A and B are shown apart, each in its own frame.
Chain A
Amino acid sequence: MKPKTVMAVALSLFAVPSLLLAQKSQEELAKMRDEKMAHEVFQKANWIFDYDKVREEAKKSDKLIFAYFTRSYAG
């Protein structure tokens, strides 16, 4: 596959999710976020989703924070 074709395909793959994101309302994005946070994996341990709260708890308990960064806005 020629480099120009590869770039065209790659750019379209990036562009399509951006276009889909632009169509999502704030309510839909909030719903996706809530569904993500309700995922079964987060019920198996005491996950904190509040950045301020986890730092406060880490200070009180003198523990490190294990941070898992994820997203909910794309499928």
Chain B
Amino acid sequence: MLFCHVTSRVEADPYQGLLQEKGGRGFPYLAFLDAEGNVIAKQGDRSVEGFEKTLATITDFRALEKKAKAGDRAAGIDAVIAGMELGAYDADQAKEKLAKLGPIPKDKQAKIDGMLVNFEVDAMMAKVRTQQQAEEAGRKFAEMEKEGRVPTGRTAWNFYAVMLAAHEAAGDAEAYEKALGVFKSLVEGQPNAARMTKRFEDTLEKLKKAKG
């Protein structure tokens, strides 16, 4: 079913707070809902492949949920992982569900831990509004990297981009160059990769010159 919600600011229009209620922070916001209106998946990647991947994961998720309800514990764990991938569960919801499922196999736990790192970084990024906050987040991300807690996917792009802000503020050309190397490997092949990295490369040159 195709549903379009228009935030109009017309006082008489119902459900004007629906965007925020469904986890949206800006426009446009795309999501898949079940018939009750619960968010099943948030759609970030707007390519055809992105939609196909989401729909495939939703199909798996619903099948796993059905098995989990029938008592299949392994399916329950996989359903939570699928739900996290879709954006249907936040970190707290996922932890709550997993706590009820008992011991989790090591390989699944490693995947879950990785996804929780992504959630943690996304939550920190959502609070960044100023350059100072970006630098502060970047310093925390540098600490996380030392601990081996590094996100994946697009979250990793933001992770390293913000880390660069912290290294720039500290005038640390060496750390900046190292983080930039990782960032470039992550965005390689992306449509705007060259544009994204050019600015950072220019900054690296300035940092190196300042170092002397």
Binding site for B on A (CB under 8 A): 3, 6-7, 21, 24, 26, 29-30, 32-33, 36-37, 42, 45-49, 51, 54-55, 57-59, 61-73
Question: Is B4 interfacial (CB 8 A cutoff)?
Answer: yes
Q: Tell me whether A66 and B9 are in contact in the complex, defined as CB-CB below 8 angstroms, given that A3-B131, A55-B36, A71-B27 are known contacts.
A: no
Question: Is B13 interfacial (CB 8 A cutoff)?
Answer: yes
B11 partner, pick from A24, A26, A59, beta carbons under 8 A:
A26
Interface pair A68/B3, CB less than 8 Å apart:
yes
Besides A36-B6, A51-B15, A67-B4, 5 other A-B contacts (C-beta < 8 A): A3-B130, A3-B132, A46-B2, A58-B34, A64-B33
Minimum C-beta distance from A44 to chain B (A): 10
- Bound form: Cα–Cα A57–B159 in Å: 41
A69 partner, pick from B24, B35, B40, B132, beta carbons under 8 A:
B24
Q: Tell me whether A66 and B27 are in contact in the complex, defined as CB-CB below 8 angstroms, given that A42-B4, A55-B37 are known contacts.
A: no
- Bound form: Cα–Cα A70–B4 in Å: 7
- Bound form: Cα–Cα A45–B1 in Å: 10
Interface pair B8/A69, CB less than 8 Å apart:
no
Binding site for A on B (CB under 8 A): 1-15, 18-19, 22, 24, 27-37, 40, 58, 130-132
Interface pair B18/A64, CB less than 8 Å apart:
no
- Bound form: Cα–Cα A6–B130 in Å: 9
A64 partner, pick from B22, B34, B132, beta carbons under 8 A:
B34
The chain B residue with its CB closest to the CB of A59 is B35
A71 partner, pick from B2, B6, B31, B132, beta carbons under 8 A:
B6
